[in-house]
Structure 1
Amino acid sequence: MSSKLVPSNPEDVMVIRDITPNVVTFSVPFLRFGRVPIGGRGTVVRLTSGSLAVFSPVALTDAARAKVASLGGDVRYLIATDIEHHIFLSEWARAYPNAKLIGPEGLPEKRRKVAAAGDDPRIGPEPFAVVATRENATSFSVDEEFDRDFAVEYVHAHPNRELVFLYKPERVLIEADLLFNLPAVEQYSRVPEEQKPRPGVIAKLFSGIQSTSGDATGMKRFMWYVISRGNRTAFNESVARIAQWDFDTIIPCHGETVVGGGKELFERVFVWHLEAEKGRGTKM
């Protein structure tokens, strides 16, 4: 049940932040496995056309709805950035019925199955307008309006089937689980001190592995030996294509947003994959 995964009082703990004049994040606390504080984050982007795209939507609180209205209110795209970040799609789809739903292969079927079983009132059977597949990965297209502002990479070799987006006008990379940046300081900043989780050994270990600080050796090993092991060649190819993009900011779903120096951080974290793809080196 999604009720175990989301805060009971999102209005009270959500942090709404203007990253650029046209990119806004909505950050909330989130515990993975009920014990690891990784945080959650949705992102709204105002396209050059004036319409809005919502990535990995979180709870549609009154404050979130007001912020969307201040950006023009014309929500045309609702994007699940992987097969895990979709819980609030139905809530946003009901509020903005003209929006196109976009996500990776397998997600529409997953949601229809949950909706048919009636196991989770948050998840409905809404149809997806555009679905990323292995077959259309290199030619993925939403529509002319969306494609004009965004580059997209479908990292199908990632276990969660990641969709990574570049908002070209403001050089902002938007992703879900491809890159964490723990600890989740901002996402827990409005939680009362006495209610903040007290991470145990496992949570501390995971947070250390998912940190980009220093050489990020733990994250490099996790990416190489765990995340990419299923199809490392395809994973490396996706990472190499993303590394060719021009971006300076990275907005992850979990952990801190990187404002400035995002491209350098990305290249540092994924250096083993980039070197392997170029044929100039291997893992360490």
Structure 2
Amino acid sequence: MLKPFTSDIWIADGPHVSTAGFHYGTRMAVIRLADGGLFVWSPVKLTESLRREVDALGEVRHLVPPNSLHHLFVDDWRRTYPKAILYAPPGLRTKRKDLEFDADLTEEPAAAWAGDLDQVVVPGCLITTEVVFFHRKSATALFTDLIQQFPSTWFSGWRATVARLDLMTKSEPAVPRKFRLMFAGRRIARAALARIEAWPTEKVLMAHGTPVERDGQAFIARAFAWLTG
């Protein structure tokens, strides 16, 4: 079910997915661009009811998996919206050779959304290279896996202990410890983060975690203090 998030952004939560026995919720965002076209970020499982709700907002023109981990449901969207442009984040072309991508996500926003969204590729992490977006009209930054938060009761048993040590269940969304440890290229990551921190961010939306509704710029600085300090 689509829910309004802020100006021209709607979100929908999808089914849980499992990685090494850890269950993660999924979340997508639909952004209506100035030309009326829809930018679908981190697509979740496409149900018939979700399709009807999306179609009521406008024409799906851009399918955007933001990193090489969020690709499980892209093929359903591709088949349903064959005229939409499918973008590949760094590393996903190699991982999903079965998909026909139309374009790549790079340091520069695509011309189709350059007036609505800015973007930064965050390099240096051995887990995945994430593309972070900024919706200018609503001052919203969109993170995928670099910032996460789960309720303290989300995991149980030894997985709850691992999640706590990994900083996944902190009271405020945070960069998981495993991501911090896997940043081999910290210098280039800092340069990318400097561009993100310069955005006048008010809200922060993430695929896994409670959205930040205000003072987003200060929140991002706190979340990445381990990298910049």
2:144 is aligned to: 176
**Would you say how many aligned residue pairs link Structure 1 and Structure 2?**
227
Match of residue 61, structure 2, among 68, 76, 85 = 76
Give, in whole Å, the separation in 2 of the partners of 1:111 and 1:215: 30
**1:150 CA displacement:** 0.7
Deviation per CA, 1:18-44, whole angstroms, max 9, x where unpaired? 101411111134244253233111111
Query: RCO higher in 1 or 2 (8 Å CA, sep ≥ 6)?
Result: 1
Give the Å deviation of 1:60: 1.0
1:62 and 2:48 equivalent? yes
Q: Deviations over 1:71-109 (max 9, x none)?
A: 12x111101100010111111111111211112232112
Q: Aligned residue for 2:168?
A: 210
The within-5 A match list for 1:242-253 is: 242-253=196-207
Instruction: Describe the shift of the 1:131–1:243 C-alpha distance in structure 2 as closer, same or farther (beyond 3 A).
Output: closer
Which amino acid in 2 is paired with 1:88?
F
Say if 2:2 is the partner of 1:16: yes
With structure 1 as the length reference, what TM-score do the two structures score?
0.72
Structure whose alpha-carbon radius of gyration is higher: 1
Deviation at 1:234, TM superposition (A): 1.1
Residues 153-194 of structure 1: CA deviation (Å, up to 9, x unaligned): 001212311010001111111121111122299xxxxxxxxx
How has the CA–CA distance of structure 1 residues 215 and 68 changed in structure 2, closer, same or farther, with 3 Å as cutoff?
closer
CA deviations on 1:224-263 (whole Å, 9 max, x unpaired) are: 4x132x1111111111211110111111111222222322
One-letter code of the match for 1:83?
S
AA of the residue aligned to 1:176: T
Q: CA distance change for structure 1 residues 248 and 212 in 2, over 3 Å: closer, same or farther? A: farther
- 8 Å contact 2:147–2:176 — kept in the other structure? no
Alignment partner, residue 103 of structure 1: 88
How high is the sequence identity, in percent, across the aligned residues?
A: 28
Deviation at 1:57, TM superposition (A): 0.2
**4+ residue segments displaced more than 6 Å:** none
The whole-number CA distance in structure 1 between the counterparts of 2:144 and 2:53 is 22
TM-score (norm 2): 0.88
8 Å CA contact retained: 1:53, 1:79: yes
AA aligned to 1:210 is M
Q: Which residue pairs with 2:119 in the alignment?
A: 152
C-alpha RMSD of the superposition: 2.4
Secondary structure of the equivalent of 1:127? coil
For residues 152 and 56 of structure 2, the distance between their equivalents in structure 1, rounded to whole angstroms, comes to: 27
Question: Does the 8 A contact of 1:184 with 1:256 survive in 2?
Answer: no
Rounded Cα–Cα distance in structure 2 between residues aligned with 1:20 and 1:32: 29
Q: Which amino acid aligns with 1:105?
A: P
Unaligned stretches of 5+ residues in structure 1: 1-14, 116-124, 186-196, 276-284
